[in-house]
Amino acid sequence: MKEININTSFTVYQSQEELPQDIQPLMEKAVEIRKKAYAPYSKFRVGACLLLDNGQIVLGSNQENAAYPSGLCAERVAIFQAGAMYPDAKIVKMAISAASDTNQTTTPIPPCGACRQSISEYEFKQSYPIEIYFMGETGEVYKSDSIKNLLPLTFDKNFL
């Protein structure tokens, strides 16, 4: 028997205002699109903003459906839209903001497992890490240099 230790690290910014100048507008767009999420059931809104290597910005917000689980998370809405509209572009940076209609979210809220797998697929496909910044409604913002910090044991096409 052996033991494997996996370490991850994140950069922590104390607030949205402390983010690097090039990231602040991305997070602002994530916050704006979060407010337009369709979340009548969970009352939990998420916005995602992607910066592509061609300079394009792609947005996504969660879209719920009464027939669970037919809805889609903000991160996947944005990623799949980028893949459809700009199939040859690389995703360079991703900003995510999440908020509840019923209580204030003050801690960084990372992507769910399904979104982590989707981000991993695109990071693997493009052979280029995606910087991921995520926050709640207010408070600290976490930065991950790659999805590998959030999903260290990835499943990819090499297993098929």
Cite the active site residues.
Answer: 75
| Binding site as annotated, residues for Zn(2+) | 73, 112, 115
Return the closest-CA partner of residue 94 out of 130, 70, 138, 60. Answer: 130
The packing angle between helices 74-85 and 113-126, to 10°, is 30
| Binding site as annotated, residues for substrate | 62-68
Return the closest-CA partner of residue 54 out of 29, 82, 101, 89. Answer: 89
CA–CA dist 56, 77 (Å, integer): 16
CA–CA dist 56, 60 (Å, integer): 13
